[in-house]
Amino acid sequence: MSQSELKSSAAWIAVDWGTSNVRAWAMDDRANILDQVSSRLGMNAIAADAALGFEGVLIDLIGRWLPSGASDRMRVVICGMAGAKQGWLEAPYCSVPVRPDELASGAVRPVLSDQRIDVAILPGLKQVDDPDVMRGEETQLVGFMASQPGFDGWVCLPGTHSKWARVSGGAILGFKTYMSGEVFALLSGQSILRHSMDDRWDDATFEAAIRDASDAPTGFLHKLFTVRAGGLVGNANAANVAGAAVLSGAVIGSEIADVVGALDGNAQIALIGDGKLAGLYRKALAVHGFDAHAVDGQAITIAGLAAAHQAIRNA
């Protein structure tokens, strides 16, 4: 499709504005993607550079999709950190339990210099008891629920701050965040365990660590040190162990042990993402006898933004 055709056909713009990246999609009225663009100007980069502002960054990113002549304002629907306190304009958290239309009605509208756009920033989600928050993932959950309206179970969103959400009856009932990704990154990159990380990987080692994390959950901080000590004690079995597989299994295993403790054996689990990390979560869940259904992360982000766009338009 040529640029001129695209310009005439984009009906609205979907944006996922994260901590370290921003991605935007030009959408038509039937939720098809016409074009996409991304940059490293996430919330942190904008906060760190006084010369940058959210509106200017957005216009630079999506300007080529905006009509040049007089026209209705282009609706831009944004999820993620643009709505954080340190973001563009704070979109206060909605509380669980919540339904998708309630989330959309919590969108906020920043004052704009550019008259060609109309921006809605979606709220994050909070849980007051067992304090927890998310920003961005709630929109993925909405997109997931739109694609599987009858889903009754848990949705896992692995990542820096891994999330598990309980979804039932068309609502998000509650959720739980685990610092697994950040803890793994700190330990593998900056702790003494960095000396024990290499390219070796072994599924059986990973799966054994997943089981250990469940059988001996208080042993977590000791298990970490065995990654280092294994290479020093002259125990050939221990020295030949892939350190990254033990560390990864200990961290993901701790999270999974906590979650499966709250599940019955027939629980449905949907796993967002199809990359390497989601593959590890799938293996970890299989150790506990659960078969997780994998769902594409970007597709549900866009579906969630499309659902919000529709709810805002119909409001």
Task: Compare residues 271 and 302 and give the one whose CB is closer to a copy of itself.
Answer: 271
| Closest separation in Å from C-beta 111 to a copy of itself | 25
| Closest separation in Å from C-beta 269 to a copy of itself | 17
| Closest separation in Å from C-beta 205 to a copy of itself | 13
Task: Compare residues 163 and 282 and give the one whose CB is closer to a copy of itself.
Answer: 163
How many Å apart are CA 5 and CA 172, to the nearest integer? 39
Note the residues at the interface with a copy of itself (CB under 8 A): 93, 126-133, 161, 176-180, 182-183, 186-187, 190-192, 213-214, 216-222, 224-226, 228-230, 232-235, 238, 251, 254-255, 257-258, 261
Q: What's the chain's Rg over C-alpha atoms? A: 22
Spatial CB neighbours of 138, under 8 Å, sequence gap ≥ 6: 79, 94, 98, 103, 122, 123, 124, 125, 172, 304
| Closest separation in Å from C-beta 50 to a copy of itself | 21
Task: Compare residues 110 and 220 and give the one whose CB is closer to a copy of itself.
Answer: 220
| Closest separation in Å from C-beta 216 to a copy of itself | 8
Task: Compare residues 73 and 161 and give the one whose CB is closer to a copy of itself.
Answer: 161
| Closest separation in Å from C-beta 136 to a copy of itself | 14
| Closest separation in Å from C-beta 178 to a copy of itself | 4
- Read off the amino acid at residue 25: W
| Closest separation in Å from C-beta 209 to a copy of itself | 14
Task: Compare residues 28 and 215 and give the one whose CB is closer to a copy of itself.
Answer: 215
**Residue 198 neighbours by CB distance under 10 Å:** 9
SS3 176: strand
CA distances from 190 to 64, 71, 183, 243, 266 (A): 42, 53, 10, 14, 39
Task: Compare residues 145 and 187 and give the one whose CB is closer to a copy of itself.
Answer: 187
Q: What token pair was written down for 262?
A: 């709250």
Task: Compare residues 209 and 311 and give the one whose CB is closer to a copy of itself.
Answer: 209
How many Å apart are CA 141 and CA 165, to the nearest integer? 8
Spatial CB neighbours of 237, under 8 Å, sequence gap ≥ 6: none
Task: Compare residues 25 and 93 and give the one whose CB is closer to a copy of itself.
Answer: 93
Task: Compare residues 140 and 254 and give the one whose CB is closer to a copy of itself.
Answer: 254
CA distances from 22 to 46, 62, 268 (A): 11, 11, 31
Q: What is the 3-state secondary structure (H, E, C) of 25-93?
A: EEECCCCCEEEEEEECCCHHHHHHCCCCCHHHHHHHHHHHHCCCCCCCCEEEEEEEHHHCCCCCCCCCC
Host H or E run for residue 144? helix 137-147
CB 114 within 8 A of CB 68: no
If we measure between CA atoms, which residue out of 20, 127, 143 comes closest to residue 77?
143
| Closest separation in Å from C-beta 185 to a copy of itself | 9
Burial of 208: CB neighbours in 10 Å, binned 0-12, 13-18, 19+: middle
